[in-house]
A and B are shown apart, each in its own frame.
Chain A
Amino acid sequence: MAGWASISQIKEKIAEKSAEEVTASYLERIKKSKINAYTTVCEGAIEKAQEIDDKGHNGPLAGIPIAIKDNISTKGIYTTCSSKILQGYVPPYDAHIVERLKDAGAIILGKTNMDEFAMGTSTESSFYGPTLNPWDKERVPGGSSGGSAAVVAAGEAPVSIGSDTGGSVRCPAAFCGVVGLKPTYGTISRYGLISYANSLEQIGPLATCVSDIATLMDIIAGYDSRDSTSVKTEMVYKDALVDDVSGMKIGVPEEYFGEGIDPAVENAVWDAIQFFEELGASWEQTSLPHTSYALAAYYIIAMSEASSNLARFDGTRYGYRSEGDNWHVMASRTRAEGFGPEVKRRILLGTYALSAGYHDKYYLKALKVRTLVKKDFDIAFKKFDCLMTPTMPTPAFRIGEKVEDPLALYLADVNTVPINLAGVPSISLPCGFTDGLPIGLQIIGKHFDETTILKAAYSFEQNTDHHTRRPQEMA
């Protein structure tokens, strides 16, 4: 019963059998999993499903199993950010989106593996070890929401929730051949999302199809008074599911097809863009001239914010705690033992970038670059309805291939980070394969114009069959 399925397919199964049986089948499948995509599995999910069977539930996700990234606070369920330092931490509260999902009747199957504190592009920096790509277990699933993408691709959950600070939903969506949306900054409350880089990140849904993305957005998006950066919108995402791109103006920024792009990726993306033309849209090449500075600015801002966000993990109140004769020794040891190397690298770099004497040279300059990057998009969107690019310059790389070379890993984010700097929405969806590995098409929209990119993605999906391919074991 479990496996690659859409929400509506699951609903049929629930109607046919029961929520309990559906949930049980997923838990069974997770048990047999070889991809290490969950950090915590909720055995209690069965009872929740039984409750829905017994009492009934008229929520839009009644009985639908879902997986949640391990950096989103879940009351009574371990939330560790795949870090040793949060080992054993059981939050006393639910994130805003978890409340909404529960209200809608969703059943939380478990927490998904990720790069430690969402810092990475491969899910290899997890304290629990890497998640394997369901399409090729030698390869990474992408990151940092690697677990969330992999469980959907492997049929271990029909839908999942990730978070995207610099591509962390879209990258694994591309590498795992699923759909992933990074909404406009402010669309989904971050209350309960454990911060890595507050000014950049958004929670985002992952699914096997665009329609499920819209369904999830209608549940999790919306104003929350507990997040001062959340915005009031009256959007109905389901309304965007229209198979019609006629007259749509697509911009294709040349900078996103730069050095290091895999030719197969380039071809697949161009094929997709040309296909949009067949569907009635028009495209034109364009330029986002400050793109080449975006990566550096992104990492400085993200690391600076991270260095401060992660200061609270000192062993005093929760999570892992080391020993020491006094507090300072205890806290230092806790952090030395609790954080992995990539997290430490980013804390150190961020601390450096904010230090007196360097603050203006790095942090302040990065903020200026950010403004310029944003302006690039503003200008482009005066002319175009959306922009299309490869999500990732390459297909999924091999596990271990870039572990020793952080810079190479950072470079992989080149096409995703400018979107977070600008705060605009962007979706990644499958647009082809190379050597059996999925390729992701990125569609970028204007601020709060998820409608256009969902419409484009939906139309593409309705007229192609890339999204119907499954990893071998799934077939």
Chain B
Amino acid sequence: MPPTIRLASERVELRKVQDDNPPKIYTPGEVVHQGTDYLRGHGTYLDEDCVKSSVAGICQKINKWLIVRPIKKRYNGEVGDVVVGRISDLQMKRWRVDTNARLDSILLLSSVNLPTGELRRRSAEDEATMRKYLQEGDLICAEVQQVFNDHSLSLYTRSLKYGKLGQGTLVKVFPSLVKRQKTHFHDFPWGTSAILGNNGYIFIYPTSQRSGKEGDGYKEDAEETITLEERENIARVRNCIVALAHYKQMLYDTSIAVAFEESKKYEITQLLTPEVMAKIASVAQQSLLQHSRNH
């Protein structure tokens, strides 16, 4: 496909949704509440007896707290979140992981399963061979174990669900677009799986790959060939997610499945053109709105 270049003024916008009851929007410096009977929460600050907003977003009252939530911000971890991250550094007894948070997360050597599967204290020998399990640039999937005082995260991979990721595609979106759900591991009926990390990193891989991997999560099966069909499906899912994220649609299994079905009308490369992206996003939006109205 030849590259397409067009003017920024010719960008395609999604049709505006009829919003009958739009919430009040606060912008930085605006007074959210006069008086001191409420406490200042995230996105607000106290200035001479009034709570002012420090971000642009909508206000929420939780008990005595006033919170202003921006549309997007960096990932703020919570215990139990599934995240996808990239190893950025090796240190004594720990890996540092880039998880799109404001500080790098930490994966301790003692909070991973050893490839042999045995449970024992980690020795100095394990420390020396850390790079054999995970090295800089490797992608991992993990769960947040603990949030420290400075808001950095401690991760763990002590489950077969988690570990090093093999062949697949990573998509980065804004973390606020990933919907919080019971499970963030999804197997789609067309043979593709996706890990929707709460931190906005989404990993797409063929379902067949995981079923083959038993025991240790640290072997990269780069030898294994993925069929053309599987690779095409991965590319299609990836383009659908990019389209949904570009038009600010929430990402979860249903929205991706709807977008995927709609995208079948087009070639995979066509999915990168703005008109088709907008079409897919609007179909997903309509069907999700319908869905939420029915409930």
Answer yes or no: do A and B interact.
no
Query: Which B positions have Cβ atoms within 8 angstroms of A?
Result: none
Query: Which A positions have Cβ atoms within 8 angstroms of B?
Result: none
